[in-house]
Structures are given as C-alpha cells and as structure tokens.
Chains A and B, each alone.
Chain A
Amino acid sequence: MFTGVDFFLIDDLLSEEERKIRQTIRQYVDEKFLPLAAEYHRKADFPLSVIPELGALGVLGVTIPERYGAAGLNHTIYGLAMQELERGDSGLRSFASVQGSLVMYPISRYGSETQKQLWLPKLASGQAVGCFGLTEPDHGSDPGGMLTKAVHTADGWLLNGSKMWITNAPIADVAVVWAQTEQGIRGFLVEKGTPGFRTQTIKGKFSLRASLTGELIFDDCLVPEANLLPEGKGLRAPLSCLNEARYGIAWGAIGAAMACYEEALDYAKNRIQFGKPIAGFQLTQHKLVEMLNEITKAQLLNLQLGRLKDQGKAQYYHISLAKRNNVDQALKIARSARTILAANGITDEYQTIRHLLNLESVFTYEGTHDIHTLIVGEHITGMGAFR
C-alpha cells in the first residue's frame, strides 16, 4: 500500500475530508488499477472496467455541480484526485482529466441547460465517455490557426476537418469539437455515430500506452443546431478548458513522481552492491534527496495553487508555472529513479519506466513546456514571444 510522501507535514494543511478522499482514491488505485497497469501498458489498451468505478468514486467531474450528478467539490480535492490517479498511471489520470476538465467543464460552462441535463449525469457516472478535439495534425501549440471549419446551413452545422492526438477518441460517445466559423471559433457536441464522423486509433505510441488516443475525422458531418455550445465563443473558450486540465496535470505529475521516488528509495535500500545497500552510497543519496526536494516543493506549489483556485484567485500564468515546473521535475525524477533501478528499471516489472515514458507525453501535451515558459515570460515582461 502506497503511504504517500510527506516530508514537510503538508498533510496538516489538508482537512480531514481531503485526506480521507485522497485515501479512498489511493486505495482504489492500489487495489483495482495497479494490478492491471503493466498488462494494459504492455498491450497498449485502456481497461474499460475502471470507467464505471471512477464514476462511482466520484472522480469524474469533481468540481461540476452536484445537481448534474457530479461531486461538486473544491479544486484542491480535484487536484488531490488527479495526483492519486496519476500515481497509478498518467493514462488513468488523462482519462479523468479529459472527462472532467475537457468535456464536462465546457458543457457545464458553455452548454445549454438541455445539453447539461443530457450529458453531465452520464459523464459523471461513467456511463458515457467524452473527448475533446482542439489540436490538429498541423496546429498544436497554435490552435488559433485551426483548419477545421463549421459552416452554418439550414439544417445545422456542416463540419469538415480533422483533430489529432485526442485522448479517449476511440471510445468516446461525445466529442467536444472546436471549429472555425463565420463567428470565430465555436464548440460543438458531436455524437458517436453521426454520419460523416469517424475516429481512427493512433498506434505505435511509446508513451501513454495505457490510454487510447486517436484522430477525429469530419467529412461533411452535419451537426444539429442543438449541439452547438451556445455560450462558448472564440479561442478563449477552449483555452479556458485547457486551463482546468493543466491545473490537474500539475498535481498529477507529482503523483507519478512520488511513485518513482518511492520505488527507487525502496529499491536502493534493498539492492546490495559492494557489500552494502546502494542507498548507503553518496551518489544514490544525492539522487534520492534531489527527488524528495523537488517533490516537496511541488507539493507546496500545488496546495497553494489549489487554495488560490478555490478562492477564485488562480490566474492562467500561475497554472502555467505549476504545470511546467511539476511535469519537468517529475520527468527528471523518473529518469533519476530509473538510473537507481539500473537494468531492472527498463522492465515493466517496476513501474518507473512506465511513468518515465508517460511523462514524455505529459511534458508536451496541454501546452508544451516551452509554451508555458512563454506564457509566464509574456506575463512578467509584457512582451509576447509567440503571438
């Protein structure tokens, strides 16, 4: 059983309920998810059995109001939930991030009451799965240049174009799709089975293997008027969704980092070389201390970010700083842990290599490390370097 890493007694800053919620998810991940993780990673598949279980736990749409069947809780709790899920696997956390922050959040914020009633309860329980289509094959960091178009016709909206690197695409019942229109960028709910809409699974991934990623293809796909998100207009709308998801990633990455640190520490204490545990060598201690050092700093950053978000004070640049720092550090921690595990660290008998590979994606998605650097850079200098 994972007991967590809490070098600075940061747990004392959490409420009893926050600690209990973290514990229930931690236990779930240990008992139900981790026994499946290596196998699904190996066969590059997502265990569908976890979807209703995540729904029953209440981790799908943590901050979405209770009247829509979701948990209706604070952002700190959402963060703790993402941390615990990613301690299992970034793919598990990605599933919940996308469902909650990129599908339920835009429906809740920009959708009509009918759309909310129709989709949110099913998405909260895991009866339905959603995905989010913003990135395109040729437009990643520059989503404003998207080529997907929606033309208003007498029968609704005619969509043409494609979206790439879409988590959950192959299993989604509904896709939140962003497209250029005469009124600027607008969002649409495209349901599975709509004529002219198909998905294609992306194969050959060496990262986020226990997560389904695909392409969304729209070929004269007619979307009814009722499926337009009425309140979301302009690039600001999808970016606001990413802001929610990135917040969760800042927490999640430290879950993965803690898993690697714990595994490396345990291994170092038990692996004997030159007649003593390798934990007794100065170089190994240095690596372990650096890991703990960065985990502890990131935990404090996350908690303060969560409290700011709960007070409505968290800005996009706060989230960018946390995402870039925490994912970057988590990736370094995973690499360092891998060197402690040495040859054993390259097999999936240990979890570190899985986290290490996953974090390569997390470093890039939801705003690359570089883009987040430039977002903070623009904020502090007043000079935009990328737009």
Chain B
Amino acid sequence: MNIAVCVKQTPDTETRVKLTDDQKAVNESDINFILNPYDEFAVEEALKLRETNGGEVTIISLGPDRVKSAIRSALAMGADKAIHLVADKNPSDPNAVAGALAEELKTGNYDLILLGKQAIDDDHAQLPSLLGEKLGLPAVTVVVKLDINGDQVTAEREIDGAHEIVTCNLPAVIGAQRGLNEPRYASLKGIMKAKKIPIEEKPAALAADQLEIESFNYPPEKSAGKIVGDSADAVPELLRLLHEEAKVI
C-alpha cells in the first residue's frame, strides 16, 4: 500500500504564545516546534497499515526550512521517504496549502492519504475535506477507527453525540482524530536512521492566499472568581449564575 501522510509543524502545546508588534502574526522566536499531534495519529495509522499490508509511507510537509524537523520526527517513527514542499512561510489560507499539497499528491499514485483532522495552531480543520475536493477523492475526517479490506474502506468518525460509520473505496483521504491509535515513541535507532533519509525538496506550488489575517488578539484576562456561598442554600443562586452569566448550562 502506497501511503502519503501530510504533516504540519506546529508550536508545542505548552507554548505561551506571543504576538508580533503589529498583532498580525505569532512571534516565532521562542517557540519550540513539534509535529502536529493529530498528524502523529496519521503517521501511526500509516505505519500500522504498512506493517499489515506492506508498501511505503511518504511524509509530505509544506513550509519553511524549519519544518524539516517535524518531517524528521515522522521519519523517526518509521516512515520511509519524505518530501518537503518549500515555502517562505506557512500560508494562512488552508485552501492555498491544500492546492499545493494536491499538486504533489497527484504525482505520487497514492492509495491512501492520511493527515490529522486539524492542526493545533490555526485550528482550521479544513485540510482533509479540501484535499478530497481538489483530488476528486472521497474524504472522511474526525476518524477514530479505520479498517481497510482490499480497496474497501470502513471509517468510524465522531459526530455530535454519536459515531458515524462511513464506507468508501480507495484511494481516499482520511483525517485522523485522537483515539484512532496510540502513536509510538520514536526509538533511538529510528531517530538515528531518520537522519540518513534524504528529504526531497520541491518548491510549493502555492496560489495566492484568499484569506487575510486582520489581527490576532490575546484571550481576555481572567477576572476574579466569585464565591456565592458555602452551603446547599447557595445552589439555586449558583445554578442561576451558571445559566445566566456564565451561560455554561
């Protein structure tokens, strides 16, 4: 099975985000970048499918030079090959990213395209669907269970309050959700082996962004909490506040 996994490099989940002075971008100077955690599920699923069906796993990532580190992390988990679509920066428009990835994916004759259901930085969660559209392939996303039998795909996806079971044929695009599997740790040997795998570089065929970031804002400062009482008598007031002020129930 010839599998492509599209991965994104994102800031570490523990990053304290700082904005640039014009508030149009995130200041990257102190950021520790990692492989997007949802993409780790995609890599793991690809490796498991390769273990059962044979074949090859190719990692594809788009972005500036620093994304090579995320590519190496995916290779260290056990992927076979990698392509880096070189761009000056990560585009802010997922449509532009999907277009460039689709151009590359068309040339690879892949049976399956896996990726995380979303990236933890910009949270667009659009890429699996956009890729399906651009490649004319079935796309199933937020997938928590994947079975492939011949070219028959059965995918279980999370929907509001239930799971939906979807079938389609290969080739297909699958967006991985947490719960699909437990990603393996890169082993010491894997990390050293990944160093020796050449990463093929190609210019990213990026169309102009159609989305423009107007500005980023920090979340509002948390205000002080309120104690409404210390006995059961306070429950009605607590319920009222949770409903009317906090609007959480």
Contacts and interface: CB of A to CB of B under 8 A. Distances in A.
A77 interface: yes
Contact of A57 (B69, B187, B192): B187
A73 B14 contact: no
Contact of B185 (A17, A56, A81): A56
Interface stretch (A38-46, A58-66, A228-236, A360-368): A58-66
A73 B185 contact: no
Nearest to B77: A24
A16 B14 CA distance: 21
Nearest to B187: A58
Contacts of B187: 24, 56-58, 71
Size category of the B interface is 10 to 19
B191 A17 contact: yes
A272 to B, nearest CB: 16
Contact of A24 (B14, B69, B186, B195): B186
B162 interface: no
Given A20-B73, A20-B76, A58 B14 contact: no
Interface string A50-80: 0000001111001000100001110001000
Residue of B69, B72, B184, B188 most packed against chain A (CB within 10 A): B188
A227 interface: no
Nearest to A53: B185
A198 B138 CA distance: 62
B247 interface: no
Contacts of A71: 187-189, 192
B188 A58 contact: yes
Interface string A1-40: 1010000000000001100110010011000000000000
Residue of A20, A21, A56 most packed against chain B (CB within 10 A): A20
A62 B185 contact: no
A14 B195 CA distance: 14
Contact of B192 (A1, A3, A73): A73
A73 B195 CA distance: 13
Contact of A16 (B69, B186, B190): B69
B16 to A, nearest CB: 12
Given A24-B187, A57-B185, A17 B14 contact: no
B14 A81 contact: no
Nearest to A32: B185
Contacts of A16: 69, 72, 195
Contact of A20 (B14, B72, B184, B189): B72
Contacts of A58: 187-190
B187 to A, nearest CB: 4
Interface in B187-207: 187-192, 195
Nearest to B12: A1
A56 B186 CA distance: 9
Contact of A59 (B14, B73, B188, B195): B188
A147 to B, nearest CB: 40
Contacts of A72: 189
Nearest to A3: B14
B185 A28 contact: yes
Nearest to B34: A23
B191 A21 contact: yes
Nearest to B184: A56
Contact of B186 (A20, A73, A77): A20
Contacts of A56: 184-185, 187
A148 B76 CA distance: 46
B189 A81 contact: no
Interface of A: 1, 3, 16-17, 20-21, 24, 27-28, 56-59, 62, 66, 71-73, 77, 81
25 contacts: A3-B14, A16-B69, A16-B195, A17-B191, A17-B195, A20-B72, A20-B73, A21-B188, A21-B192, A24-B76, A24-B187, A28-B185, A57-B185, A57-B187, A58-B187, A58-B188, A58-B189, A58-B190, A66-B189, A71-B192, A72-B189, A73-B188, A73-B189, A73-B192, A81-B188
